[in-house]
């Protein structure tokens, strides 16, 4: 029997207090008020859960997981939030304290409400556990049903004939090549995931996959292949990587690869003004035989649903990405959920035998699981690349990333205690440094940042000379040589404070971090279709001529330089320091990762791993407490969702 909570509108009072202290967004509170207006005061508990589901969406979770919530409400909801002041913590109840006021059985309460699981209701309760806002439940359903259908599109390829093609592309070897296995998998299936860490050969594999697909196409005309990535920077990197790798292909195969230019997903699907709708959709599918998406871990659930709907049923979809990276900034962890268990393979025997014939080498016995298809259907279309060509798991950046990703803290504790001593004993560790400081204003940290950004300031001081585009290219390349990444936005160790300090250190007190000045690095924070810029694009304010206004230099989605007036830009922020989340899809020669003084649920091994692997040559980890680094390594991120689970349908 459902019972009323203690006091009149007590839960709504809690929500309003949370909102007043910026623990909730306005949209979270508005949804709760909407449910109350429609259903009356008796629905206060349901309205409270609606606000929590909306709050979770703002933290990247497509749903509110009631089981996780019951186990550790404060950690799941991050209430109090990491930015909460002492005053607000005293004025507000925690999530756990607020939920203790609800004495009804949560699933029973929600299932009985007119706001849940009825036609056009704003929420869906799935599997008696996951509470969704209906739109995000629909996105999940669209993705699941589309991908499972594509998994059924199996091309009848003779593995012996395929082996001849792969021998020409990869060469013959007595060693198992997971890149070659991935190529065979993608040539066979209508949907494939190729996952692996930095330098594991995803681009190397894709270039050979493109040649394989063209070699084994059924029609006479070349396949229509489209390449895409979530951001302009990621698309430019994909294009550049493919062009470089083509130089390693046999000449007679290079000409078969007709598509080499990657575009953003927004451009691929045809974004239309400020609408959420795309030009290509279920009614107007994209004309393509193959679509390959790089950096797929950054693709949120809404974009993935739009992508799958825009592809014809026969279009082959291939996702590339690192499943161990942070999930997308927006809601969803699509790649991570689809790749769950990928380290172990879980291939059915029949599939493993076919892959072995196409390779000439059997797959490891521990990667074969006859029950795998029932529990992990997507893994029958997934290959994980294990060996990094960029990072040796026993050297420098690769060693540090490996230890953190594996959550092995013993080596990490020794390194944090004596990074210089370990580097002196083992030169392979010389490109990783641990810097323990008491505050972000530390002299050592200031010297590190000033030295890192020094070459950029020198280039700016030189001016454009006779060739503006050459200068612009040099500036953008230099901007990728050094970058400060922070785990949090607020506080002494957060992005906001760091940008103020770095601006002061580099340019003095005559400029402000939130105002325009020559040399200001900026990041776009929302998609701006009017100027064709996307969330995460990086620009640099420059003075081309003292008599002319400032221009902001960007690299367009086609790789060309763009010089825009600051007045045309709306949603942006200074980016000498950026969050680790925002750095996904980027790579910097020297990356400085800054961890906050206080512990927080957002400090996870995925966050550390992502920040560390943004470095290509040198990594500096800045922190105050080694204990906080160890605690973050031991904590894993869990994004709620049921993408890989067969769900009940609620229309």
% of the chain residues with pLDDT over 90: 50
| Burial call 341-369: b when 16+ CB within 10 Å, e when fewer | bbeebbbbeebbebbbbbbbbebeeebbb
Window from 97-111, 266-280, 405-419, 634-648 with minimum mean pLDDT: 634-648
pLDDT at position 392, please? 56
pLDDT at position 648, please? 47
Query: What is the CATH number that goes with domain 153-385?
Result: 3.40.50.300
pLDDT in tens, 135-148: 999 999 999 999 99
The CA distance from 335 to 328, in Å, is 9
Extents of the domains making up the chain: 10-140, 153-385, 396-634
Task: Give the relative orientation of helices 134-151 and 301-310 as an angle to the nearest 10 degrees.
Answer: 50
Question: What do you get for the CA distance between the two ends of the chain, in Å?
Answer: 26
Q: How confident is the model at residue 477 (pLDDT cuts 50, 70, 90)?
A: very high
Q: Which of 282, 272, 142, 292 is nearest to 213 (CA)?
A: 292
Question: Token pair of 285, please?
Answer: 């599918």
- 199 annotated to bind ligand: yes
Q: Are strands 262-264 and 191-196 parallel, antiparallel or unpaired?
A: unpaired
- 620 annotated to bind ligand: no
- 264 annotated to bind ligand: no
The CA distance from 83 to 67, in Å, is 26
* The pLDDT of residue 466 is above 80: yes
pLDDT at position 651, please? 45
Could you tell me the fold of the domain covering 10-140?
Arc Repressor Mutant, subunit A (1.10.10)
* The pLDDT of residue 598 is above 70: yes
Which residues are 385's β-sheet partners?
Answer: 196
* The pLDDT of residue 3 is above 70: no
- 222 annotated to bind ligand: no
Task: Give the relative orientation of helices 409-417 and 396-405 as an angle to the nearest 10 degrees.
Answer: 130
pLDDT in tens, 10-30: 999 999 999 999 999 999 999
pLDDT top residue among 542 and 643: 542
pLDDT in tens, 385-436: 877 666 555 678 888 988 998 888 899 999 999 888 888 888 888 899 999 9
Identical fold for domains 10-140 and 153-385, yes or no, is no
The CA distance from 576 to 532, in Å, is 23
The CA distance from 269 to 483, in Å, is 31
pLDDT at position 223, please? 86
DSSP classification of residue 381: G
Over residues 370-378, mean pLDDT: 81
- 250 annotated to bind ligand: no
- 196 annotated to bind ligand: yes
- 38 annotated to bind ligand: no
Correct CATH for 396-634 of 3.40.50.300, 3.40.50.2300, 3.40.50.1100, 3.40.640.10: 3.40.50.300
pLDDT in tens, 555-571: 876 678 999 999 999 88
pLDDT top residue among 509 and 331: 509
* The pLDDT of residue 1 is above 50: no
pLDDT at position 198, please? 75
* The pLDDT of residue 306 is above 90: yes
How far is Cα of residue 35 from the mean position of the Cα atoms in its chain? 32
Task: Give the SS3 label for residue 645.
Answer: coil
- 200 annotated to bind ligand: yes
The CA distance from 101 to 413, in Å, is 42
Residue pair 285/310 in contact (Cβ under 8 Å)? The answer is yes
pLDDT at position 583, please? 87
């Amino acid at each position: 029997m459902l019972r009323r909570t203690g006091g009149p509108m007590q839960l709504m009072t809690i929500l309003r207090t949370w909102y007043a202290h910026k623990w909730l967004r306005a949209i979270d509170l508005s949804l709760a008020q909407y449910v109350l207006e429609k259903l009356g005061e008796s629905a206060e508990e349901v309205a409270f859960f609606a606000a929590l589901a909306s709050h979770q969406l703002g933290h990247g979770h497509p749903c509110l997981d009631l089981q996780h919530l019951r186990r550790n409400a404060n950690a799941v909801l991050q209430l109090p939030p990491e930015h909460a002041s002492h005053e607000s913590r005293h004025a507000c109840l925690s999530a756990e304290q607020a939920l203790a006021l609800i004495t009804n059985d949560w699933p029973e309460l929600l299932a009985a409400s007119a706001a849940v699981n009825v036609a056009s209701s704003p929420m869906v309760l799935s599997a008696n556990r996951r509470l969704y806002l209906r739109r995000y439940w629909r996105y999940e359903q669209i993705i699941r049903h589309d991908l499972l259908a594509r998994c059924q599109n199996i091309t009848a390829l003779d593995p012996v004939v395929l082996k001849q093609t792969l021998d020409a592309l990869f060469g013959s070897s007595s060693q198992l090549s997971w890149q070659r296995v991935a190529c065979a998998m993608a040539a066979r299936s209508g949907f494939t995931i190729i996952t692996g860490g930095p330098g594991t050969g995803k681009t190397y594999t894709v270039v050979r996959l493109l040649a394989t697909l063209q070699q084994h196409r059924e029609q006479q005309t070349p396949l229509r292949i489209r390449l895409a990535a979530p951001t302009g920077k990621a698309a430019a990197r994909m294009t550049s990587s493919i062009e470089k790798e083509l130089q390693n292909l046999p000449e007679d195969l290079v000409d078969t690869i007709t598509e080499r230019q990657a575009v953003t997903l927004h451009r691929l699907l045809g974004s239309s003004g400020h609408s959420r709708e795309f030009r290509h959709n279920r009614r107007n599918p994209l004309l393509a035989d193959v679509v390959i998406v790089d950096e797929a871990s950054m693709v949120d659930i809404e974009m993935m649903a739009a992508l799958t709907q825009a592809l014809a049923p026969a279009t082959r979809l291939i996702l590339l990405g690192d499943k161990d990276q942070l999930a997308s900034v927006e809601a969803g962890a699509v790649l991570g959920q689809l790749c769950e268990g990928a380290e172990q393979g879980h291939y059915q025997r029949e599939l493993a035998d076919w892959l072995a014939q196409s390779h000439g080498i059997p797959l490891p016995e521990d990667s074969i699981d006859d029950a795998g298809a029932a529990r992990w259907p997507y893994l029958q279309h997934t290959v994980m690349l294990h060996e990094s060509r960029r990072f040796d798991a026993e050297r420098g950046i690769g060693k540090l990333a490996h230890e953190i990703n594996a959550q092995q803290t013993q080596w990490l504790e020794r390194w944090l205690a004596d990074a210089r001593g370990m580097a002196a004993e083992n030169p392979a560790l010389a490109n990783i440094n641990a810097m323990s400081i008491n505050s972000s204003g530390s002299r050592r940290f200031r010297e590190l940042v000033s030295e890192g950004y020094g070459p950029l300031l020198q280039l700016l001081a030189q001016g454009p000379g006779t060739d503006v585009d050459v200068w612009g290219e040099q500036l953008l390349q230099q901007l990728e040589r050094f970058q400060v990444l922070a785990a949090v936005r607020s506080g002494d160790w957060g992005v906001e404070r760091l940008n103020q300090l770095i601006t002061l250190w580099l340019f003095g007190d005559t400029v402000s971090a939130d105002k325009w000045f020559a040399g200001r690095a900026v990041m776009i924070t929302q998609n701006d279709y009017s100027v064709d810029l996307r969330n995460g694009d990086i620009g640099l304010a420059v003075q081309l001529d003292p008599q002319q206004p400032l221009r902001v230099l960007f690299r367009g989605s086609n790789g060309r330089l763009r010089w825009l007036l600051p007045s045309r830009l709306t949603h942006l922020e200074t980016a000498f320091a950026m969050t680790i989340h925002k750095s996904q899809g980027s790579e910097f020669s020297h990356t400085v990762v800054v961890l906050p003084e206080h512990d927080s649920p957002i400090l996870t091994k995925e966050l550390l791993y992502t920040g560390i692997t943004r470095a290509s040559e040198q990594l500096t980890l800045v922190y105050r407490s080694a204990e906080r680094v160890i605690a973050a390594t031991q904590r894993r991120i869990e994004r709620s969702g049921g993408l890989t689970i067969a769900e009940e349908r609620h229309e």
